[in-house]
C-alpha cells in the first residue's frame, strides 16, 4: 500500500494547492472579479493561477496514475480497482471537455462574436468541473471501510458539487462580449463582473470550500491509517 499512500499524498498536495490558489484569488481581488483585471499579466490572481494551477494539475495526474496502477495489486479490493479506473476515465473526460471542446468553442465565440458559443463553452466547463469534483471521492472510497470516513466522503462530494457548480453556473448568463481590435483584426473578448461578496455567492463559496477542506481532512486521515499498516493489505 506504499504506492497508494504516496498517490493519496500527492492528491492531498494537489487539493491543498488548489485551495490556496482559490482563497488567495478571492483575497487578492477583494471578492470582486472583472474581466479587465484578471486579463492583466501582473495581477496577483493571474500569477497564482498561472504558476500554481499547473503544479496542482500535474500532482493530480501523477496521483491518479499511481493509485490506479497500485490498485491492480490489491486483489481483495475489486471495488477500489473499479472506482480508481473510473476516476482515471473521468479525468480523461475532463481533459477532453476542457481542451477539445471548451477551448475551441471559446475561440470560435471570440472570433465570430457568438455569445452563444462562449456560453456553451462555459456550460461545458461546468460538466468538466463535475467530473473533477468526483475524482478525489472515487480514488479513496474503495479502500475506506470505516463508515465515518465514507460518510465524510459523501458529504465532501455533495458540498463540493453544490457549491462549486453554482459558483461556475451562476455568472454564465451575465457574460457578454466586447469587441477589440488586435493588429487590424476584430476579436470579441468575454466581459463579466462577478461580486463574490454579494448574495448568493458567499453561500456557494462556503459550501465549496467546506467540501474541499473535508476532502483534505479525509485524505490526511487515510494516509495516516495506511502508514500504520505493516502487514498485507486488509480493509480497515
Q: Which residue has the higher pLDDT, 33 or 222?
A: 222
Please write the tens of the pLDDT for every residue from 108-123: 988 888 889 989 998 9
Buried b / exposed e over 141-152, threshold 16 CB at 10 Å, is bbbbeeeebeeb
Burial class (CB in 10 A: 0-12, 13-18, 19+), 105: buried
Band of pLDDT at residue 176, cut at 50, 70 and 90: confident
| Residue 154 confidence (pLDDT) | 97
Q: Which residue has the higher pLDDT, 203 or 30?
A: 203
Band of pLDDT at residue 10, cut at 50, 70 and 90: very high
Q: Which residues, in sequence order, are bridge partners of residue 176?
A: 191
Q: Which residues, in sequence order, are bridge partners of residue 193?
A: 34
Rounded-to-integer distance, Cα 154 and Cα 165, Å: 16
Sign for the CA dihedral angle at 73, 57, 122, 28 comes to positive
Rounded-to-integer distance, Cα 136 and Cα 87, Å: 8
Q: Is pLDDT above 80 for 213?
A: yes
| Residue 41 confidence (pLDDT) | 52
Written in H, E and C, the secondary structure of 162-209 is HHHHHHHHCCHHHCEEEEEEECCEEEEEEECEEECCCCCHHHHHHHHH
Q: Is pLDDT above 90 for 33?
A: no
Average pLDDT on 41-57 reads 74
Q: What percent of the chain has pLDDT over 90?
A: 50
Instruction: Give 75's DSSP letter.
Output: T
My answer on whether omega of the bond before 146 falls inside 30° of 0, hence cis, is no
Please write the tens of the pLDDT for every residue from 90-103: 999 999 999 999 99
| Residue 100 confidence (pLDDT) | 94
| Residue 235 confidence (pLDDT) | 45
Ordered DSSP codes for 105-169: HHHHHHHHT-HHHHHHHHHHHHHHHHHHHHHHHHHHHTT---HHHHHHHHHHHHHHHHHHHHHHH
As a whole number, the mean pLDDT across the chain is 86
| Residue 226 confidence (pLDDT) | 87
| Residue 149 confidence (pLDDT) | 95
| Residue 43 confidence (pLDDT) | 59
All three cell numbers of 8, joined, read 493519496
pTM comes to 0.85
Stated length of the chain: 236
Closest to 70 (Cα-Cα) out of 154, 12, 8:
8
Q: Is pLDDT above 70 for 233?
A: no
Q: Count Cα neighbours of 207 within 13 Å in the Cβ-side half-sphere.
A: 18
The CA-based dihedral angle spanning residues 117, 165, 134, 90, taken in that order and rounded to the nearest 10 degrees: 0
Band of pLDDT at residue 40, cut at 50, 70 and 90: low
Amino acid at each position: 500500500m506504499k504506492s497508494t499512500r504516496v498517490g493519496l499524498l500527492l492528491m492531498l498536495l494537489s487539493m491543498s494547492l488548489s485551495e490556496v490558489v482559490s482563497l488567495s484569488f478571492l483575497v487578492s481581488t477583494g471578492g470582486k472579479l472583472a474581466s479587465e483585471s484578471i486579463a492583466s499579466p501582473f495581477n496577483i490572481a493571474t500569477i497564482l493561477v498561472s504558476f500554481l494551477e499547473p503544479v496542482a494539475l500535474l500532482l493530480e495526474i501523477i496521483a491518479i496514475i499511481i493509485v490506479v496502477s497500485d490498485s491492480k495489486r490489491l486483489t481483495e479490493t475489486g471495488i477500489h480497482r473499479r472506482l480508481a479506473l473510473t476516476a482515471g476515465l473521468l479525468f480523461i473526460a475532463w481533459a477532453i471537455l476542457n481542451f477539445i471542446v471548451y477551448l475551441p468553442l471559446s475561440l470560435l465565440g471570440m472570433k465570430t462574436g457568438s455569445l452563444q458559443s462562449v456560453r456553451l463553452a462555459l456550460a461545458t466547463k461546468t460538466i468538466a468541473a463535475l467530473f473533477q469534483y468526483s475524482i478525489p471521492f472515487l480514488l479513496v472510497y474503495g479502500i475506506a471501510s470505516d463508515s465515518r470516513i465514507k460518510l465524510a466522503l459523501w458529504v465532501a462530494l455533495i458540498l463540493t458539487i453544490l457549491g462549486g457548480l453554482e459558483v461556475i453556473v451562476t455568472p454564465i448568463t451575465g457574460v457578454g462580449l466586447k469587441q477589440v481590435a488586435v493588429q487590424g483584426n476584430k476579436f470579441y473578448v468575454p466581459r463579466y463582473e462577478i461580486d463574490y461578496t454579494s448574495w448568493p455567492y458567499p453561500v456557494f463559496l462556503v459550501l465549496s470550500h467546506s467540501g474541499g477542506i473535508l476532502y483534505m481532512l479525509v485524505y490526511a486521515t487515510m494516509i495516516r491509517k495506511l502508514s500504520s499498516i505493516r502487514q498485507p493489505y486488509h480493509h480497515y
